[in-house]
Amino acid sequence: HFFDLHLAHIDHGWRAESGREALFLQKKAQALGLPLHLLTLVELPAGNLEAWSREQRYAFLLTLQKKYGFAAVLLAHQADDLIETALQRVLEGAHLPFLAGMEEVSYRQDLLLWRPLLPVRKKELAAFLAQQKIKALQDRSNKNIHFLRARVREKILPALARHFGKQVDRNLWHLAEKAVVLKKYLDSKIALVWEQRQAGPLGIYWPLKLLLTLEELELQYLFKKMAHVYDVDLT
């Protein structure tokens, strides 16, 4: 017994069966002898439901981490999630180092995130569960093309595969991998400047002489990283 493992589940309340699934997970957690922390979202906004729900999830996980002192939060994102994110970010015009959108180890504000399943394809996970005779819960909202991520998964990626060949998902995976490598390289290039950021009455700033030591791509990345870390929207 080297560590304590807790489970966390967020019932978004989008589907009628989500409450029953939460009860099912509570019983599973009890059978495993593991604590389960459950959050039920009751007042859903009229705007971007996906983005709002994502923020609620991370806020809940951050609260748990602070309360119990967890070393990290483990998320179940897998390779298909990475592929979908890369395509979505390419089409949205994201800055090159941020095309992957997720890494195996990363931070979201003060929240340390581990994604151990990120190199594994969804079909591999499904085959493993079938071999272990474990039935996975199916979230039907994952196929609801009202949501952008579902449209990417159900419509856009299959269409690209038909027109460009079945390797399109693998190419997007490699693009995401290269984006992570580029991000790590740029982090190393701006490290000294990043650590010397200062806070003033107007926000975060750097002395101009420091900024002039950076190349154009490094400078762009510095500002994009600042916006990402401090949750600032730069058009």
Mean pLDDT of 166-189: 93
pLDDT tens digits, 185-232: 999 999 999 999 999 898 889 999 999 999 999 999 999 998 888 877
Residue 49's pLDDT band, with cuts at 50, 70 and 90, is confident
- The C-alpha atoms of residue 2 and residue 162 are separated, in whole angstroms, by 48
Question: Cα 184 to the chain's mean position, in Å?
Answer: 17
What are the start-end ranges of the E strands in 72-208? 73-74, 105-108, 111-114, 198-200, 203-205
CA distance 47 to 218: 35
Residue 104 — pLDDT band, cuts 50, 70, 90? very high
Q: What DSSP state is assigned to residue 71?
A: S
Residue 233 has pLDDT above 80, yes or no: no
Helices (H) and strands (E) in the chain, counts: 9, 7
The mean pLDDT of 44-70, rounded to a whole number, is: 84
Q: Tell me how far apart the terminal alpha carbons of the chain are, to the nearest angstrom.
A: 49
Give the per-residue pLDDT at 196: 94
Phi first, then psi: give them for residue 58, nearest 5 degrees. -70, -35
How much is the pLDDT for 105?
Answer: 93
Residue-level pLDDT at 1: 53
Q: Band of the pLDDT at 7, cuts 50, 70, 90?
A: very high
CA neighbor of 85 nearest in space, from 98, 100, 103, 105: 100
Q: Tokens 């151990």 label which residue? A: 116
pTM for this entry: 0.83
Instruction: Count other C-beta atoms under 10 Å from residue 23's C-beta.
Output: 11
CA geometry: angle at 113 spanning 156 and 107, to 5°?
Answer: 95
pLDDT value of position 29: 94
Measured between alpha carbons, how far is 230 from 131 in angstroms, rounded to an integer? 44
Assign 140 a pLDDT band (cuts: 50, 70, 90).
confident
Tell the burial category of 42 from Cβ atoms under 10 Å away from its Cβ (0-12, 13-18, 19+): exposed
Whether residue 175 contacts residue 94, with contact meaning beta carbons closer than 8 Å, is answered with: no
Give the residue, 67 or 165, on which the prediction is more confident: 67
